[in-house]
């Protein structure tokens, strides 16, 4: 049985189906890696979407520190160049280019991910849920970075973008709610961190979580780049990202880099 707080947290991050979904996801990742491990017809760069490292509260989204470092080693061994996500977003990038992005601003982004990447002198992006970083919800206080922590994290190697106010499913929102989630998160980041972000990562990020209306409002709000969390199935005006899961061992991660999961979505 999960404790009450943990249940609330799982609900908040959309993992209410965590146990069944995790078993299914593990099977899908292994199966697809076997079937299509050698497929590679990619012409552009690849943006990886992480959530947390060695912070198991995020369930299937969490990657262990050992595995995260191993994945960075693999990227180097395989000849990839790690560039800012904005570089790939700008013109598609090159097939040997990869970017690291991190969603939600879990505490491990500052405590584990930033030190690992900075030691290796690698650029990265972080997408912040403004109300979570306000720490108004009790569950966020020990799990999510607040604005002071984000301020300390700021640096030339890090691009910070918006990930909405409350992490909703945009497909279920009224127009006024879409406007609020996009505008108020941007304004809050500007007030707290001193700049208005021009990139936005779609909460949940799958094809079903974004609409033409949301895309148009996002552009009007001032976001130049809108990142999905899917590749071939994403909204066509968004930039694709490849989701890295808890189950991605060396073999699955190599398959992922070869496109084995480019038609795969987490929640469908
Ligand atoms: Zn998220």
Going from the Cα of 141 to the center of ligand 1, the distance in angstroms, rounded, reads: 17
| Closest C-alpha among 187, 136, 145 to residue 162 | 187
Going from the Cα of 180 to the center of ligand 1, the distance in angstroms, rounded, reads: 17
Please write the tens of the pLDDT for every residue from 112-149: 999 999 999 999 999 999 999 999 999 999 999 999 99
Going from the Cα of 75 to the center of ligand 1, the distance in angstroms, rounded, reads: 24
Instruction: Give the separation between CA 248 and CA 241, rounded to whole angstroms.
Output: 16
Residue 26 belongs to what domain range? 4-257
Within-domain flag for 263: no
- What distances in angstroms separate CA 46 from CA 224, 240, 262, one per listed residue? 18, 8, 10
* pLDDT recorded at residue 22: 81
Going from the Cα of 262 to the center of ligand 1, the distance in angstroms, rounded, reads: 19
* pLDDT recorded at residue 19: 65
DSSP string, 3-35: -HHHHHHHHHTT-TTHHHHHHHHHHHHHHHHHH
Instruction: Give the separation between CA 199 and CA 227, rounded to whole angstroms.
Output: 8
The answer to which of 18-27, 41-50, 229-238 has the lowest mean pLDDT is 18-27
* pLDDT recorded at residue 149: 98
Within-domain flag for 83: yes
Within-domain flag for 222: yes
Please write the tens of the pLDDT for every residue from 173-224: 999 999 999 999 999 999 999 999 999 999 999 889 999 999 999 999 999 9
Q: Predicted confidence band at 29 (pLDDT cuts at 50, 70, 90)?
A: confident
Within-domain flag for 266: no
Within-domain flag for 138: yes
**Percent of the chain with pLDDT strictly greater than 70:** 89
For residues 68 and 249, the answer to whether their CB atoms sit within 8 Å is no
Total domains, the chain: 1
CB atoms inside a 10 Å sphere around CB 128: 28
Q: Predicted confidence band at 1 (pLDDT cuts at 50, 70, 90)?
A: very low
User: Looking at residue 147, which CATH number applies to its domain?
Assistant: 3.20.20.370
Within-domain flag for 94: yes
* pLDDT recorded at residue 99: 98
Record the pTM: 0.90
Within-domain flag for 265: no
Instruction: Give the separation between CA 194 and CA 150, rounded to whole angstroms.
Output: 11
Instruction: Give the separation between CA 154 and CA 126, rounded to whole angstroms.
Output: 10
Within-domain flag for 65: yes
E-strand ranges in 196-243 read 199-201, 225-227, 242-243
């Amino acid at each position: 049985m999960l404790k009450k707080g943990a249940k609330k947290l799982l609900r908040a991050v959309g993992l209410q189906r965590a146990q069944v979904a995790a078993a299914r996801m593990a099977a899908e990742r292994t199966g697809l890696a076997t079937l299509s491990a050698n497929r590679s017809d990619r012409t552009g760069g690849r943006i990886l979407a992480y959530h947390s490292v060695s912070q198991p509260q995020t369930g299937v989204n969490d990657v262990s520190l050992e595995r995260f470092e191993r994945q960075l080693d693999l990227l180097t061994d395989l000849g990839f160049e790690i560039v800012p996500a904005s570089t790939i977003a700008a013109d598609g990038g090159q097939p040997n280019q990869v970017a690291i992005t991190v969603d939600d601003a879990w505490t491990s982004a500052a405590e584990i991910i930033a030190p690992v990447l900075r030691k290796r002198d690698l650029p990265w992006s972080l997408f912040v849920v403004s109300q979570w970083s306000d720490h108004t919800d009790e569950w966020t206080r020990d799990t999510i970075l607040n604005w002071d922590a984000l301020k300390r994290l700021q640096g030339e190697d890090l691009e910070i973008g918006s990930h909405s106010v409350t992490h909703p499913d945009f497909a279920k929102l009224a127009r006024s709610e879409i406007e609020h989630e996009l505008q108020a998160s941007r304004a809050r980041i500007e007030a707290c961190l001193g700049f208005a972000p021009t990139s936005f990562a779609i909460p949940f990020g799958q094809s079903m979580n974004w609409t033409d209306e949301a895309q148009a409002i996002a552009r009007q709000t001032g976001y130049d780049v809108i990142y999905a969390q899917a590749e071939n199935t994403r909204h066509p005006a968004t930039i694709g990202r490849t989701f890295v899961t808890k189950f991605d061992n060396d073999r699955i991660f190599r398959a992922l880099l070869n496109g084995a999961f480019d038609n795969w979505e987490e929640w469908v």
